[in-house]
Amino acid sequence: MVPGDLGRREPQLGNPQECRQFIDLCVRHINTLAEQLASDAQGFHARFETTEHQGQDLLLAEEWCFGYLRGVAVGNWPQMPAPQTGLLQTIIDCAEQDNFELPADLDLAQHRQQVAAIEPAARALHAYWAAQR
């Protein structure tokens, strides 16, 4: 199985050992991200997709944000103060977009501004939760 096999569907694992390997890889990935955020938050960069739109490269953050929100759901995050709720809303707004077919009239400047706000929001949310421990 390769990462592209996963998408939004359940992974099809052949046997218990394959399942353990998959879980080990996921945990290792999560721990690597947590370590990076703890030691060098500014060095953290989300892995957004890139596409071409109207002859220009454009970052797409919808899938990343969707995955982030799945993590929020799994973590069962409690209610947060308004500033942190606003940061999370930045990620929610992006996750709710359908960027599979970009509209011809897409406001590129607004789109880029929205995508640029996601990494700082994720860093700030991580800092908030780290301070709660």
Of 86, 91, 60, 59, residue with least CA distance to 73 = 91
- Residue 13, domain extent: 1-39
What pTM does this model have?
Answer: 0.77
Do 14 and 34 belong together in one domain? yes
How confident is the model at residue 120, as a pLDDT?
95
Do 63 and 107 belong together in one domain? yes
Do 34 and 11 belong together in one domain? yes
Do 29 and 61 belong together in one domain? no
Do 65 and 18 belong together in one domain? no
How confident is the model at residue 113, as a pLDDT?
95
How confident is the model at residue 30, as a pLDDT?
81
The 3-state DSSP class for residue 10 equals coil
- The contacts of residue 92 (CB under 8 Å, 6+ apart) are 65, 69
Q: How far apart are CA 37 and CA 46, in angstroms?
A: 11
How confident is the model at residue 76, as a pLDDT?
92
User: Which residues of the chain are under the pLDDT cut of 70?
Assistant: 1-11, 98-100
